[in-house]
Amino acid sequence: MLYLEDLRVGQRYETAEYQMNEAEIKTFAAQYDPQSFHLDAEAAKGSFFGELVASGWHVAAVSMRLCVQSGPKFAAGIVGLGGELKWRKPTLPGDTLRVVCEIVEIQESRTNPARGTVTLLNETRNQRDDVVQTFRCALFVPKKDVNAS
Amino acid sequence: MLYLEDLRVGQRYETAEYQMNEAEIKTFAAQYDPQSFHLDAEAAKGSFFGELVASGWHVAAVSMRLCVQSGPKFAAGIVGLGGELKWRKPTLPGDTLRVVCEIVEIQESRTNPARGTVTLLNETRNQRDDVVQTFRCALFVPKKDVNAS
Protein backbone atom coordinates (compact mmCIF):
# COMPACT_ATOMS: atom_id res chain seq x y z
CA MET A 1 0.00 0.00 0.00
CA LEU A 2 1.43 3.35 -1.06
CA TYR A 3 0.87 6.46 1.07
CA LEU A 4 1.80 10.02 0.13
CA GLU A 5 5.13 9.73 1.97
CA ASP A 6 6.11 6.73 -0.16
CA LEU A 7 5.85 8.63 -3.44
CA ARG A 8 8.42 10.69 -5.34
CA VAL A 9 8.16 12.68 -8.56
CA GLY A 10 9.64 10.60 -11.36
CA GLN A 11 8.59 7.19 -10.03
CA ARG A 12 7.30 5.02 -12.86
CA TYR A 13 5.04 1.99 -12.93
CA GLU A 14 4.02 -0.24 -15.80
CA THR A 15 0.88 -2.36 -15.88
CA ALA A 16 0.24 -5.76 -17.40
CA GLU A 17 -0.99 -5.96 -21.02
CA TYR A 18 -4.46 -6.49 -22.41
CA GLN A 19 -5.40 -7.43 -25.96
CA MET A 20 -8.43 -5.69 -27.42
CA ASN A 21 -10.73 -7.86 -29.54
CA GLU A 22 -13.42 -6.97 -32.03
CA ALA A 23 -16.28 -8.55 -30.06
CA GLU A 24 -15.51 -6.55 -26.91
CA ILE A 25 -15.02 -3.34 -28.94
CA LYS A 26 -18.50 -3.79 -30.44
CA THR A 27 -20.11 -4.76 -27.12
CA PHE A 28 -18.74 -1.67 -25.36
CA ALA A 29 -19.74 0.55 -28.26
CA ALA A 30 -23.27 -0.85 -28.45
CA GLN A 31 -23.75 0.03 -24.81
CA TYR A 32 -21.89 3.33 -24.45
CA ASP A 33 -20.76 4.77 -27.80
CA PRO A 34 -23.10 3.47 -30.53
CA GLN A 35 -21.47 5.01 -33.59
CA SER A 36 -21.00 3.06 -36.83
CA PHE A 37 -17.19 3.28 -36.82
CA HIS A 38 -17.14 1.39 -33.49
CA LEU A 39 -19.82 -1.14 -34.42
CA ASP A 40 -19.54 -2.21 -38.05
CA ALA A 41 -16.31 -2.81 -39.99
CA GLU A 42 -18.02 -2.26 -43.34
CA ALA A 43 -19.66 1.03 -42.35
CA ALA A 44 -16.40 2.17 -40.73
CA LYS A 45 -14.68 2.15 -44.16
CA GLY A 46 -16.63 5.27 -45.11
CA SER A 47 -15.95 7.05 -41.79
CA PHE A 48 -13.27 9.44 -40.57
CA PHE A 49 -11.25 6.45 -39.33
CA GLY A 50 -11.59 4.26 -42.45
CA GLU A 51 -11.78 1.10 -40.33
CA LEU A 52 -13.33 -0.25 -37.15
CA VAL A 53 -11.75 1.39 -34.09
CA ALA A 54 -12.41 1.12 -30.36
CA SER A 55 -14.33 3.89 -28.61
CA GLY A 56 -11.97 6.25 -26.83
CA TRP A 57 -14.03 5.62 -23.70
CA HIS A 58 -13.38 1.91 -24.08
CA VAL A 59 -9.64 2.58 -24.25
CA ALA A 60 -9.99 4.77 -21.14
CA ALA A 61 -11.98 2.09 -19.30
CA VAL A 62 -9.48 -0.67 -20.19
CA SER A 63 -6.63 1.63 -19.10
CA MET A 64 -8.37 2.11 -15.76
CA ARG A 65 -8.76 -1.62 -15.25
CA LEU A 66 -5.07 -2.18 -16.03
CA CYS A 67 -4.16 0.48 -13.45
CA VAL A 68 -6.48 -1.00 -10.79
CA GLN A 69 -5.29 -4.55 -11.36
CA SER A 70 -1.57 -4.10 -11.96
CA GLY A 71 -0.69 -0.44 -11.41
CA PRO A 72 0.62 1.28 -8.28
CA LYS A 73 -1.36 0.25 -5.18
CA PHE A 74 -2.33 3.53 -3.54
CA ALA A 75 -3.83 3.40 -0.06
CA ALA A 76 -7.57 4.22 -0.39
CA GLY A 77 -7.52 3.02 -4.01
CA ILE A 78 -7.56 5.11 -7.17
CA VAL A 79 -9.76 8.09 -6.30
CA GLY A 80 -9.48 10.36 -9.31
CA LEU A 81 -10.48 14.00 -9.58
CA GLY A 82 -10.02 14.07 -13.34
CA GLY A 83 -7.48 15.63 -15.67
CA GLU A 84 -6.43 16.12 -19.27
CA LEU A 85 -7.45 13.14 -21.42
CA LYS A 86 -6.19 12.86 -25.00
CA TRP A 87 -6.74 10.20 -27.63
CA ARG A 88 -3.66 10.32 -29.83
CA LYS A 89 -4.08 7.32 -32.12
CA PRO A 90 -6.93 4.92 -32.86
CA THR A 91 -7.00 1.51 -31.17
CA LEU A 92 -7.82 -1.40 -33.47
CA PRO A 93 -9.02 -4.95 -32.85
CA GLY A 94 -5.97 -7.06 -31.93
CA ASP A 95 -4.01 -4.18 -30.40
CA THR A 96 -2.40 -4.98 -27.06
CA LEU A 97 -2.52 -2.13 -24.54
CA ARG A 98 -0.59 -1.40 -21.37
CA VAL A 99 -0.29 1.72 -19.23
CA VAL A 100 2.94 3.44 -18.24
CA CYS A 101 2.31 5.67 -15.19
CA GLU A 102 4.70 8.38 -14.01
CA ILE A 103 4.30 10.53 -10.92
CA VAL A 104 4.69 14.12 -12.11
CA GLU A 105 3.52 16.15 -9.10
CA ILE A 106 2.88 15.65 -5.37
CA GLN A 107 1.06 18.21 -3.24
CA GLU A 108 0.08 18.15 0.40
CA SER A 109 -3.46 19.31 1.02
CA ARG A 110 -3.79 22.83 2.40
CA THR A 111 -7.05 21.95 4.12
CA ASN A 112 -6.80 18.26 5.01
CA PRO A 113 -3.71 17.01 6.90
CA ALA A 114 -4.73 13.39 6.27
CA ARG A 115 -4.10 13.40 2.53
CA GLY A 116 -2.49 14.97 -0.50
CA THR A 117 -2.94 15.10 -4.23
CA VAL A 118 -0.74 13.14 -6.63
CA THR A 119 -0.68 13.89 -10.34
CA LEU A 120 0.07 10.97 -12.64
CA LEU A 121 0.82 11.02 -16.33
CA ASN A 122 -0.69 7.76 -17.59
CA GLU A 123 0.31 6.80 -21.11
CA THR A 124 -1.62 3.96 -22.72
CA ARG A 125 0.70 2.33 -25.24
CA ASN A 126 0.08 -0.37 -27.83
CA GLN A 127 2.27 -3.28 -28.96
CA ARG A 128 4.30 -0.94 -31.20
CA ASP A 129 4.89 1.34 -28.21
CA ASP A 130 2.73 4.04 -29.84
CA VAL A 131 1.02 6.23 -27.26
CA VAL A 132 -2.70 5.88 -28.03
CA GLN A 133 -4.02 7.81 -25.02
CA THR A 134 -2.61 10.09 -22.36
CA PHE A 135 -4.38 10.96 -19.12
CA ARG A 136 -2.73 13.46 -16.78
CA CYS A 137 -4.85 12.87 -13.71
CA ALA A 138 -5.00 14.03 -10.13
CA LEU A 139 -5.67 11.51 -7.34
CA PHE A 140 -6.27 11.80 -3.63
CA VAL A 141 -3.66 9.79 -1.69
CA PRO A 142 -3.77 9.42 2.13
CA LYS A 143 -0.82 10.29 4.38
CA LYS A 144 0.63 7.43 6.37
CA ASP A 145 1.52 9.25 9.58
CA VAL A 146 -2.10 10.35 10.04
CA ASN A 147 -3.99 7.33 8.76
CA ALA A 148 -1.86 4.34 9.70
CA SER A 149 -2.27 2.99 13.19
CA MET B 1 -26.65 16.88 -39.71
CA LEU B 2 -24.52 19.71 -38.38
CA TYR B 3 -21.50 20.96 -40.33
CA LEU B 4 -18.94 23.51 -39.15
CA GLU B 5 -20.83 26.35 -40.87
CA ASP B 6 -23.99 25.52 -38.90
CA LEU B 7 -22.34 26.06 -35.51
CA ARG B 8 -21.95 29.20 -33.39
CA VAL B 9 -20.24 29.77 -30.07
CA GLY B 10 -22.89 29.80 -27.35
CA GLN B 11 -25.23 27.24 -28.94
CA ARG B 12 -26.53 24.84 -26.29
CA TYR B 13 -27.99 21.37 -26.50
CA GLU B 14 -29.47 19.16 -23.82
CA THR B 15 -29.69 15.39 -23.99
CA ALA B 16 -32.35 13.01 -22.73
CA GLU B 17 -32.03 11.64 -19.18
CA TYR B 18 -30.76 8.29 -17.94
CA GLN B 19 -31.20 6.78 -14.50
CA MET B 20 -28.21 4.94 -13.04
CA ASN B 21 -28.98 1.75 -11.17
CA GLU B 22 -26.93 -0.28 -8.73
CA ALA B 23 -26.75 -3.42 -10.88
CA GLU B 24 -25.32 -1.53 -13.87
CA ILE B 25 -22.89 0.39 -11.62
CA LYS B 26 -21.54 -2.92 -10.29
CA THR B 27 -21.43 -4.57 -13.72
CA PHE B 28 -19.43 -1.71 -15.22
CA ALA B 29 -17.11 -1.63 -12.21
CA ALA B 30 -16.52 -5.39 -12.26
CA GLN B 31 -15.36 -5.12 -15.84
CA TYR B 32 -13.49 -1.81 -15.92
CA ASP B 33 -12.94 -0.33 -12.44
CA PRO B 34 -12.97 -3.17 -9.90
CA GLN B 35 -12.58 -1.19 -6.68
CA SER B 36 -14.61 -1.99 -3.56
CA PHE B 37 -16.39 1.39 -3.40
CA HIS B 38 -17.89 0.70 -6.86
CA LEU B 39 -18.73 -2.96 -6.20
CA ASP B 40 -19.94 -3.49 -2.63
CA ALA B 41 -22.17 -1.15 -0.62
CA GLU B 42 -20.95 -2.58 2.69
CA ALA B 43 -17.25 -2.24 1.86
CA ALA B 44 -17.87 1.25 0.45
CA LYS B 45 -18.90 2.49 3.91
CA GLY B 46 -15.26 2.34 5.01
CA SER B 47 -13.97 4.03 1.85
CA PHE B 48 -13.23 7.63 0.87
CA PHE B 49 -16.79 7.93 -0.47
CA GLY B 50 -18.63 6.32 2.47
CA GLU B 51 -21.16 4.70 0.15
CA LEU B 52 -21.39 2.89 -3.16
CA VAL B 53 -20.69 5.28 -6.07
CA ALA B 54 -20.45 4.82 -9.81
CA SER B 55 -17.03 4.70 -11.44
CA GLY B 56 -16.15 8.03 -12.99
CA TRP B 57 -15.51 6.15 -16.23
CA HIS B 58 -19.04 4.79 -16.07
CA VAL B 59 -20.39 8.34 -15.72
CA ALA B 60 -18.22 9.34 -18.68
CA ALA B 61 -19.45 6.40 -20.76
CA VAL B 62 -23.12 7.08 -19.97
CA SER B 63 -22.57 10.77 -20.80
CA MET B 64 -21.14 9.73 -24.16
CA ARG B 65 -24.13 7.53 -24.92
CA LEU B 66 -26.51 10.37 -24.05
CA CYS B 67 -24.60 12.68 -26.42
CA VAL B 68 -24.58 10.10 -29.25
CA GLN B 69 -28.27 9.27 -28.86
CA SER B 70 -29.80 12.65 -28.11
CA GLY B 71 -27.08 15.31 -28.37
CA PRO B 72 -26.17 17.50 -31.35
CA LYS B 73 -25.90 15.49 -34.58
CA PHE B 74 -22.54 16.43 -36.03
CA ALA B 75 -21.77 15.29 -39.56
CA ALA B 76 -19.15 12.49 -39.31
CA GLY B 77 -20.35 11.68 -35.78
CA ILE B 78 -18.63 12.49 -32.52
CA VAL B 79 -14.93 12.17 -33.26
CA GLY B 80 -13.23 13.39 -30.11
CA LEU B 81 -9.60 14.36 -29.64
CA GLY B 82 -9.92 14.56 -25.86
CA GLY B 83 -9.96 17.38 -23.35
CA GLU B 84 -10.21 18.29 -19.69
CA LEU B 85 -12.33 15.75 -17.79
CA LYS B 86 -13.34 16.46 -14.19
CA TRP B 87 -15.44 14.49 -11.74
CA ARG B 88 -17.00 17.04 -9.44
CA LYS B 89 -19.44 15.02 -7.36
CA PRO B 90 -20.08 11.30 -6.87
CA THR B 91 -22.91 9.60 -8.79
CA LEU B 92 -25.07 7.27 -6.70
CA PRO B 93 -27.50 4.47 -7.61
CA GLY B 94 -30.82 6.07 -8.54
CA ASP B 95 -29.30 9.33 -9.81
CA THR B 96 -30.69 10.54 -13.13
CA LEU B 97 -28.09 12.02 -15.47
CA ARG B 98 -28.32 14.26 -18.52
CA VAL B 99 -25.73 16.25 -20.44
CA VAL B 100 -25.86 19.96 -21.19
CA CYS B 101 -23.51 20.75 -24.10
CA GLU B 102 -22.36 24.25 -25.03
CA ILE B 103 -20.19 25.19 -27.99
CA VAL B 104 -17.34 27.27 -26.56
CA GLU B 105 -14.90 27.49 -29.48
CA ILE B 106 -14.87 26.93 -33.25
CA GLN B 107 -11.66 26.81 -35.27
CA GLU B 108 -11.08 26.17 -38.94
CA SER B 109 -8.26 23.75 -39.61
CA ARG B 110 -5.01 25.35 -40.76
CA THR B 111 -4.04 22.23 -42.65
CA ASN B 112 -7.31 20.62 -43.79
CA PRO B 113 -9.88 22.76 -45.64
CA ALA B 114 -12.50 20.00 -45.28
CA ARG B 115 -12.93 20.31 -41.53
CA GLY B 116 -12.52 22.29 -38.34
CA THR B 117 -12.32 21.74 -34.63
CA VAL B 118 -15.21 22.47 -32.29
CA THR B 119 -14.75 22.66 -28.53
CA LEU B 120 -17.71 21.67 -26.41
CA LEU B 121 -18.20 22.11 -22.69
CA ASN B 122 -20.26 19.08 -21.69
CA GLU B 123 -21.73 19.23 -18.21
CA THR B 124 -23.24 16.03 -16.86
CA ARG B 125 -25.93 17.01 -14.36
CA ASN B 126 -28.03 14.94 -11.98
CA GLN B 127 -31.68 15.27 -10.95
CA ARG B 128 -30.79 18.07 -8.48
CA ASP B 129 -29.02 19.92 -11.31
CA ASP B 130 -25.66 19.33 -9.59
CA VAL B 131 -22.82 19.14 -12.09
CA VAL B 132 -21.25 15.73 -11.48
CA GLN B 133 -18.81 15.77 -14.41
CA THR B 134 -17.46 18.31 -16.86
CA PHE B 135 -15.68 17.46 -20.10
CA ARG B 136 -14.29 20.27 -22.21
CA CYS B 137 -13.61 18.35 -25.38
CA ALA B 138 -12.41 19.03 -28.89
CA LEU B 139 -14.12 17.36 -31.86
CA PHE B 140 -13.43 17.24 -35.57
CA VAL B 141 -16.42 18.57 -37.53
CA PRO B 142 -16.54 18.55 -41.37
CA LYS B 143 -17.22 21.66 -43.46
CA LYS B 144 -20.34 21.59 -45.58
CA ASP B 145 -19.13 23.48 -48.61
CA VAL B 146 -16.30 21.00 -49.14
CA ASN B 147 -17.98 17.75 -48.12
CA ALA B 148 -21.60 18.10 -49.15
CA SER B 149 -22.38 17.27 -52.73
Per-residue pLDDT of chain B (149 residues; tens, 9 = 90+): 999 999 999 999 999 999 999 999 999 999 999 999 999 999 999 999 999 999 999 999 999 999 999 999 999 999 999 999 999 999 999 999 999 999 999 999 999 999 999 999 999 999 999 999 999 999 999 999 776 55
pLDDT, position B90: 98
CA A38 to chain centre: 20
Q: Do B83 and A81 touch (CB under 8 A)?
A: no
Q: Do B32 and A64 touch (CB under 8 A)?
A: yes
Contacts of residue A62 in chain B, CB cutoff 8 Å? 32
Element containing residue B96 per DSSP (H, E): strand B96-108
pLDDT at A148 over 70: no
Quote the Cα angle for A29-B108-B79, to 5°. 5
Q: Please state, rounded to an integer, the average pLDDT across all residues of chain A.
A: 96
Q: Do A37 and B61 touch (CB under 8 A)?
A: no
Size of interface A-B (CB pairs under 8 A): 92
Domains defined for chain A, CATH in brackets: 4-147 (3.10.129.10)
pLDDT, position A76: 92
Q: If pLDDT is split at 50, 70 and 90, which confidence band does A146 have?
A: confident
- What was the ipTM of the complex prediction? 0.96
- pTM of this prediction? 0.96
Report yes or no: B117 and B141 within 8 Å, Cβ to Cβ: yes
pLDDT, position B146: 73
Instruction: Enter the DSSP assignment of B60.
Output: H
pLDDT, position A145: 76
Report yes or no: A11 and A145 within 8 Å, Cβ to Cβ: no
Of B68, B88, B121, B132, which to mutate for an interface test with A (greatest number of A Cβ within 10 Å)?
B68
Q: Give A107 to chain B, closest Cα distance, Å.
A: 18
pLDDT at A42 over 80: yes
Interface of B to A at Cβ within 8 Å reads 28, 31-37, 47-49, 55-57, 60-62, 64-65, 68-69, 76-87, 133, 140
Q: Give A96 to chain B, closest Cα distance, Å.
A: 16
Q: Give A11 to chain B, closest Cα distance, Å.
A: 23
Q: Do B77 and A32 touch (CB under 8 A)?
A: no
Q: Give A71 to chain B, closest Cα distance, Å.
A: 12
> What is the mean predicted confidence (pLDDT) over A124-147?
94
pLDDT, position B145: 76
Contacts of A136 (CB under 8 A, 6+ apart): A83, A84, A104, A119, A120, A121, A122
Q: Do A33 and B61 touch (CB under 8 A)?
A: yes
